[in-house]
Amino acid sequence: MNQVPTALTDAAGLDAPILQARQRLYQQARQRHPARWSGKLRNWQPIGSVWLNPEPDQHEQDTDPVLEAA
């Protein structure tokens, strides 16, 4: 399995197995060629929900300035 998680796989709950497979792949590559790796492996844990355009919370709506017409 050599996939990259997408919004569709995330919505379907398929991102965790994809990320686990990628983590194993990177661990194997690091074991085979440790000289190619200078730092830690990236975090392959699922991040959960992501909002691209979150709804403004009530506090922000209350503090927005209101401009009145002259």
CA distance 38 to 63: 48
Its pTM stands at 0.58
Question: Are the beta carbons of 39 and 29 closer than 8 angstroms?
Answer: no
Q: Which helix (H) or strand (E) holds 20?
A: helix 15-32
**What is residue 7's predicted lDDT score, i.e. its pLDDT?**
73
* pLDDT tens sequence for the chain (70 residues): 567 777 777 767 778 888 899 899 999 999 999 999 899 988 888 887 777 887 877 555 555 566 666 6
- 70 by Cβ neighbours in 10 Å (0-12 / 13-18 / 19+) ranks as exposed
**What is residue 28's predicted lDDT score, i.e. its pLDDT?**
95
Please, what's the b/e burial string for 34-43 (b: 16 or more CB within 10 A of its CB; e: otherwise)? eeeeeeeeee
**What is residue 64's predicted lDDT score, i.e. its pLDDT?**
56
Question: Are the beta carbons of 41 and 28 closer than 8 angstroms?
Answer: no
